[in-house]
Chain A
């Protein structure tokens, strides 16, 4: 099944969910964030896109975008089927987690939560994965001041050692 066929089937099944198909390097489909779980289940079961290669996020001036790169191992699709979700609320961005559908999303979503601050509802273990829980800020956002820290500065933010 080529990417166009998948898009046609998606439009047929869920008529109002596709927001946009922008002309980017890879074949991209933008869906509404509320419909993400249904679309993901559809893509996994009906269209056999069983390999989630990547989950990342983009910080644009007016919105966040969460990007999923999907491949099909059975059908050997050449390029990724890129699924995007636009999150308009920059103050409190959250989206449903696709970990129940693709297990590989577990660590990837934790990384996006750690570095961009986007919360994934339904994730089994949403903790920071590269930095620690008290670290000030989310580094890959555009409004994070990119500077070095000294050890003394970060010392109060570290988790307290257990009180033996």
Chain B
């Protein structure tokens, strides 16, 4: 083969044409760092999803950051009492954009089995939730499906229209 053909073949194998959106979103999707925010029993299932059998390190998420400043995703796992609710809001405000919220379990979605004076009926009264994962507690596989839905949502965002790059303040 002539040298030109060799170079062309190598180029075909090693150069990809893609969009900025695809690369940007691919990078963000494969390294979502969750914030360890287990409040109640759903925390155990979140830990189980992080452990060896249902690993979510496969998705690049095994670094569960305890600090909200370094996290991308807040998994609200468990019952939110009225006493804890302002602190949840405070931690959400401390996270940097781009941030996502996943409401895990029925307590975070809608108060769960506790229609009580002390329980906030669903975290969506306070925070904009991106994915709801119902269950009591949801199985680790259900939580991982929630992550996959979050990844789908994330991949559809375009860098031109994301809220954190707009001129006006985001939310």
Residues of A participating in the B interface, judged by any CB pair closer than 8 Å: 130-132, 139, 144, 146-152, 154, 158
Q: How near does chain B come to A140, taking the closest CB pair, in angstroms? A: 10
Q: CB < 8 Å: which of A144, A148, A150, A152 contacts B115?
A: A148
In the assembled complex, the Cα of A22 lies from the Cα of B121 at a distance in Å of: 42
Minimum CB–CB distance for B160 against chain A, Å = 34
Tell which of A147, A150, A158 touches B86, judged by Cβ atoms closer than 8 Å: A158
Q: How large is the interface on B (under 10, 10 to 19, 20 to 34, 35 or more residues)?
A: 10 to 19
Is B166 part of the binding interface, using a Cβ–Cβ cutoff of 8 Å? no
A148, B86: Cβ atoms under 8 Å? no
CB contacts under 8 Å to A, within B54-89, are 82-83, 85-86
Number of interchain pairs (Cβ within 8 Å): 31
Q: Does B116 contact A (CB under 8 A)?
A: yes
Given contacts A131-B82, A151-B120, 8 further A-B contacts (CB under 8 A): A147-B115, A148-B116, A148-B119, A148-B121, A149-B117, A151-B82, A151-B126, A158-B86
Closest CB of chain B to A143's CB: distance in Å?
A: 13
Identify whether the interface residues of B are mostly helix, strand, loop, or mixed. Answer: loop
**B125 interface residue per 8 A CB criterion:** yes
What are 27 A-to-B residue pairs whose CB atoms are below 8 Å? A130-B83, A130-B118, A131-B82, A131-B83, A131-B118, A132-B83, A139-B117, A139-B118, A144-B117, A146-B116, A147-B115, A147-B117, A148-B111, A148-B115, A148-B116, A148-B117, A148-B119, A148-B121, A149-B82, A150-B121, A150-B125, A151-B82, A151-B85, A151-B120, A151-B126, A154-B82, A158-B86
Measured CB to CB, the closest approach of chain A to B82, in angstroms, equals 6
